[in-house]
């Protein structure tokens, strides 16, 4: 399963299946969750700049 919890767009009040699966399955041996940071972006510099801008403007 792949996903990005920073890009969840479920309607207000509803739970994200991705967040739930992480909570429920994180203790099971053999299941891993990988978290990437802006340092993992290996695309164009512009992508890193956009990520930085969003991280600086979190509410």
Mean pLDDT to the nearest integer, 33-55? 85
CA distances from 4 to 18, 24, 35 (A): 8, 17, 9
Q: How far apart are CA 22 and CA 34, in angstroms?
A: 11
Span 2-33, pLDDT tens digits? 888 877 888 887 888 888 898 999 999 999 99
Q: How confident is the model at residue 59 (pLDDT cuts 50, 70, 90)?
A: low
Mean pLDDT of 40-57: 86
What pLDDT does residue 53 have? 92
pLDDT value at 44 more than 80: yes
Is pLDDT at 48 greater than 70 in this prediction?
yes
The ranges assigned to domains in the chain are: 5-56
């Amino acid at each position: 399963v792949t996903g990005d919890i920073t890009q969840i767009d479920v309607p207000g009040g509803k739970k994200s299946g991705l967040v739930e699966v992480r909570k429920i399955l994180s203790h099971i041996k053999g299941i891993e969750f990988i978290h990437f940071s802006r340092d993992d972006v290996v695309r164009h510099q512009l992508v890193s700049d956009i990520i930085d801008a969003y991280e600086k403007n979190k509410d």
